A = this chain, B = another copy of it.
Amino acid sequence: MVNQMSEGPDFDAIQEKRNGELYDMLKHRQVKRLQQTLEDMKEFDVAEFLTELGEEDSNKMAVVFRLLSKERAAEVFANLEAPEQEAIINSITDVELAGIIEEMYVDDAVDMMEELPANVVKRVMRNATPETRNLINQYLKFPDNSAGSIMTAEFVDLKKYMNVRESFARIRRIGEDKETIYVCYVTARDRTLEGVVTVKDLLLADDDDIIENIMDRDVIFATTTEDQEEVSEKFSDYDLLAIPVVDKENRLVGIVTVDDVIDVMEQEATEDIEKMAGTLPSDKPYSRTSAVEIWKLRIPWLMFLMLSATFTSMIINSFEDALNAQTVLIGFIPMLMGTGGNSGSQASTAVIRSLSLGDIEPSDVLAVIWKELRTAFLCGITLAAINFVKMLLVDARLMGNDDVTVIVAATVSLSIIGIVLFAKVVGSTLPIVAEKLGVDPAVMANPLISTITDTVSLLIYFCMATSLLHI
């Protein structure tokens, strides 16, 4: 980052310079120039600039926001996070608010409603037209994370008897406010979906060609109640720009566009990662989540795992005599538990991710176990061999610990093999079982698997010790 000169054009530098200029205009009250610059900027950049302003002074943010033209205001507004949206709603008039709501895409409006506090939602709804209010209410009824909850109503529909010229005329007439114009949907009179035609198809066809003859009848579609993760899989499989969403009667009710799917993918990956680490999933970014909220997300698993460690205490207590006879064994407990935990979470992580990407199915369970058994055998043998040599060379020789005998080293090393085998099989099987039961496999969090392997690791170790060392 030191020598950007040699790197060619620098995207970040351009943006920083532009933001500096914005602050200058604001300082020198060059309202006209500021207004013009904001009008030319990308909505995301305006939203970022407003957020930055709002961190200093939310009043200033609202003042600058009101400089935007009506359409821009709605687009920028959709790019803001909930706290900024709330601050702005609280400082604009009902008329301005109504203007923004009517200009927003339904999916953005619904997103916003889901995050704003109830009293603000009330004010927004009061200022929407009855049609918009109905539409929003209808969308809010779809289950969380369903295709219905992320779709939008702003699509271009065509009829199969239209020709290409008429279609282009329609796209030009209604296209301005649509989320995408590049994929158009052909519907019957009862609104059932009959086909799909892209602007590329239209451009490569003749003006007099009839839609019916160029449309694709084999449409990739989603249903309103379908999980958003499945929807995003279809985008990645079929390289879609948009997908039509139909209801039970196969009527076209909305579309999901690729930009929303990108957000869904980020959100789903984040949720999986959070669950794997034993945190409840959150719908807010980390930087926006307060310490108390984070505490609420993290404490349930911590508490559960702490209390379930009662089993490990009980096992250790019941083997107290054996441990007193051979205190050297105590020192290897952390290493064995750690190795078990790590082996298990490696396996569970691989399986959870593969399930979520559709790379493996629950029916592959036997193949997965077989693969993990072989992997575990290789890992176990390697670790055991290295540990055996290390204990005799380092612990016994180098550090002169006479209690570390060959038989003790063998006990620990053989335990490693058993523990790794157990951990890999449990780590890979539990997520698949969860998926089969219809539970999110990521809930088989790595910490949970660690706790199970901790308990069993100790049992394996102590059984090995009592039988090999005759204690």
Contacts and interface: CB of A to CB of B under 8 A. Distances in A.
A20 B284 CA distance: 45
Nearest to A327: B320
A235 to B, nearest CB: 6
A56 B66 CA distance: 65
Instruction: State how many copies of this chain the complex holds.
Output: 2
Nearest to A181: B200
Interface stretch (A23-31, A89-97, A137-145, A170-178): A170-178
B266 A236 contact: yes
A218 interface: yes
Contact of A249 (B8, B314, B399): B8
B332 A313 contact: yes
A276 to B, nearest CB: 7
A428 to B, nearest CB: 10
Interface string A422-448: 000000000000000000000000110
Contacts of A323: 327, 330
Interface residue SS majority, chain A: helix
A390 interface: yes
A9 B333 contact: no
21 contacts: A6-B248, A8-B250, A41-B218, A175-B200, A181-B203, A258-B258, A265-B269, A273-B273, A274-B353, A279-B349, A286-B359, A287-B367, A292-B378, A301-B342, A302-B339, A309-B339, A313-B334, A323-B327, A334-B337, A338-B451, A446-B446
Which 4 residue pairs are nearest across A and B when measured between Cβ atoms?
Answer: A8-B248, A309-B335, A277-B349, A291-B374
